[in-house]
Amino acid sequence: MESSVELRMGAAPGPRPRRFWLRTFGCQMNVHDSEKVESLLLHSGYTAARSPDEADLLIVNTCSIREKAEHRLYSDLGLLRSWKEGGPGRVLGVGGCVAQQEGDALLLRFPQVDFVFGTHNLRLVPALALAAGEGQRVARTEERRSLDRFELPIAPPELSRKNPGRAYLTVMEGCDMFCSFCIVPVTRGREISRPAEAILREAESLAQRGVRELILLGQTVNAYGRHALRRGNAEATGTLAFAELIRRLAKLPGISRIRYTSPHPLFFDDDLVAAHGDLAPLCPHVHLPVQSGSDAVLRAMRRRYGREQYLRLVTRLRGARPDLALTTDLIVGFPGETDRDFEDTLALVREVGFVDSYSFKYSPRPGTAAASLEASQAVPEPVKQARLEALQSQQKSLTLAAHRARVGTRTEILLEGESRRGGQLSGRDPYHRIVNLSARAPGSFPPGSLVPVEVVEATPHSLLAEPA
Ligand code: SF4
């Protein structure tokens, strides 16, 4: 295992182009990181394999936000031992949040792993793969404050063909909030914001390539530029207030939709709220993580807002954009959560009327403040499970009611391709709902088109529509 070997760029030499396969777990940030790795590999002369069996290089991009995801990786790596042994010269790399956390330990524990790269080291993947081909096992997880992490080569056309109308655009990375349950500040490092000019340049080139919808990404995306603004050095760092950044992006020709994810409820200044009323391209949907509806739990989570403050923010946002659709993240069974606390969460979800939510059972993450509470205040597993089921069942009814209220209305979808079940074209509307087109009209609506539709039917997971 070597962490100090000198790395060279380029694809491993061989009689034919080397082929790669990427397996991604976790959030949009991870999905976008995999896109960047894919782009780097294509630029380095690799080609995409059609299946893991065909690949010479297999990379697992991992997630450590919950215990379950981490365990899944470990069982996956066990299975990948036979993949590795299935062909000569096969190289196995592990990246993402678990890699950032574990580093060298992954090489020690799993002899089948050839290299490990952290969340700040995507650029090194081709060189690490090359070194692995030459027999060196290397882990690189050093955190670099450098802005060059943002400036990766523009994705080649074969990548953009996958979802031509929509693209992720990283505006900041890292998190300084240190919520007591969350490992992200450790795995993704401290907040760093990208200069606005570089963001606008990338957005422009995406628009020229046919991208209509930009999804601005960051762990606490609306914290973008906040430290520089507070210190008075926004100009020197080339950053802006987040709302101003959105206003400039909204002026770019060709950009019809802008979203951002995930914001922190603390960083909605008046201008960002007003932007939801002023800017037509800013989608009427905000994913606004609340985590709990109980003040006591929010305090223990160190979320830095209370229930009333969150509800006031919802009112302000809906004041600016009355048809705003809200979705959220929730954790049940946080250490010390009582039945009453949980009732408060159920009540808050009803009061806001979230269109959808992503809810999870609390699992302690090593190195977080809340992990130490688990020993004395753990909520028993069956209670966690019952709460999760109650929350999800309530959400199912809310989602279905919200979908039914849309029947008979008109909207516009950005087509992505075939629906999950096949046989229908599918896309998302501005409210971020999945909309399937009832009539199949191949060719008339290629992926990436914006199609005006009328909603004709509602299901718990999606809407059914006809071209209007
Ligand atoms: S704001 Fe809290 S939950 Fe979100 S990434 Fe930062 S520490 Fe984690």
**How does DSSP assign 111-140, residue by residue?**
TT--EEE-TT-GGGHHHHHHHHHTT--EEE
Q: Give a yes or no: residue 295 inside a domain.
A: no
- % of the chain residues with pLDDT over 70: 93
CB 202 within 8 Å of CB 150? no
The whole-model pTM stands at 0.91
* 186 and 270, same domain (yes or no): yes
pLDDT in tens, 175-188: 999 999 999 998 88
Structural domains in the chain (count): 4
Q: Kindly indicate the confidence band of residue 278, based on its pLDDT and cuts at 50, 70 and 90.
A: very high
* 418 and 371, same domain (yes or no): no
Q: Specify the residue with its C-alpha closest to ligand 1, atom 1.
A: 177
Which pLDDT score, from 0 to 100, does residue 17 have? 64
Domain assignment of residue 43, given as a range = 19-140
Q: Give a yes or no: residue 178 inside a domain.
A: yes
365 alpha carbon to ligand 1 midpoint, in Å?
13
Of 293, 415, 308, residue with least CA distance to 354: 293
CATH number at residue 57: 3.40.50.2300
* 173 and 246, same domain (yes or no): yes
* 348 and 459, same domain (yes or no): no
Atom of ligand 1 nearest to the CA of 264: 1
97 alpha carbon to ligand 1 midpoint, in Å?
14
Given a cut of 90, is residue 150 above it in pLDDT? no
Q: Which 8-state DSSP code applies to residue 266?
A: G
Of 388, 405, 422, the residue at which a domain comes to its end is 405
Which pLDDT score, from 0 to 100, does residue 311 have? 98
pLDDT in tens, 353-376: 999 999 999 999 988 999 998 888
CATH number at residue 426: 2.40.50
**Average confidence (pLDDT) over 103-124:** 93
Q: Kindly indicate the confidence band of residue 158, based on its pLDDT and cuts at 50, 70 and 90.
A: low
Q: Give a yes or no: residue 10 inside a domain.
A: no
CATH number at residue 208: 3.30.750.210
CATH number at residue 377: 3.30.750.200
Which pLDDT score, from 0 to 100, does residue 82 have? 93
Given a cut of 70, is residue 120 above it in pLDDT? yes
Atom of ligand 1 nearest to the CA of 175: 6
30 alpha carbon to ligand 1 midpoint, in Å?
15
* 350 and 399, same domain (yes or no): yes
Q: Give a yes or no: residue 381 inside a domain.
A: yes
Atom of ligand 1 nearest to the CA of 303: 2
Q: Give a yes or no: residue 5 inside a domain.
A: no
pLDDT in tens, 3-50: 455 666 656 556 566 999 999 998 888 899 999 999 999 989 999 999
* 104 and 37, same domain (yes or no): yes
In sequence order, the β-bridge partners of residue 96 are 62
* 25 and 129, same domain (yes or no): yes
**Average confidence (pLDDT) over 53-61:** 95
Distances (CA, A) of 177 to 182, 185, 209, 264: 9, 7, 36, 9
Pocket test for ligand 1, best of 101, 179, 287 (most atoms within 8 A of CB): 179
Pocket test for ligand 1, best of 64, 173, 182, 224 (most atoms within 8 A of CB): 182
Q: Which 8-state DSSP code applies to residue 445?
A: S
Of 272, 182, 257, 170, residue with least CA distance to 226: 272
Given a cut of 70, is residue 443 above it in pLDDT? no
Which pLDDT score, from 0 to 100, does residue 64 have? 83
Q: Give a yes or no: residue 60 inside a domain.
A: yes
Q: Kindly indicate the confidence band of residue 2, based on its pLDDT and cuts at 50, 70 and 90.
A: very low
Q: Give a yes or no: residue 153 inside a domain.
A: no
Q: Specify the residue with its C-alpha closest to ligand 1, atom 8.
A: 182
428 alpha carbon to ligand 1 midpoint, in Å?
27
* 426 and 337, same domain (yes or no): no
Q: Kindly indicate the confidence band of residue 132, based on its pLDDT and cuts at 50, 70 and 90.
A: very high
* 372 and 417, same domain (yes or no): no
In sequence order, the β-bridge partners of residue 435 are 427, 463
* 369 and 462, same domain (yes or no): no
Outline where 44-110 has alpha helix (H): 67-85, 96-102, 104-109
69 vs 229: CA distance, rounded Å: 36
182 alpha carbon to ligand 1 midpoint, in Å?
6
38 alpha carbon to ligand 1 midpoint, in Å?
27
Q: Which 8-state DSSP code applies to residue 410?
A: E
* 436 and 401, same domain (yes or no): no
Atom of ligand 1 nearest to the CA of 220: 1
Q: Give a yes or no: residue 4 inside a domain.
A: no
Protein residues whose CB sits closer than 6 Å to any atom of ligand 1: 175, 177-179, 182, 184-185, 219-220, 264
**Average confidence (pLDDT) over 292-318:** 98
Given a cut of 80, is residue 207 above it in pLDDT? yes
86 vs 129: CA distance, rounded Å: 18
334 vs 338: CA distance, rounded Å: 9
264 alpha carbon to ligand 1 midpoint, in Å?
8
* 401 and 415, same domain (yes or no): no
Which pLDDT score, from 0 to 100, does residue 51 have? 94
Arithmetic mean of pLDDT over the chain: 91
Which pLDDT score, from 0 to 100, does residue 153 have? 72
Q: Specify the residue with its C-alpha closest to ligand 1, atom 2.
A: 179
Of 283, 300, 328, the residue at which a domain comes to its end is 283
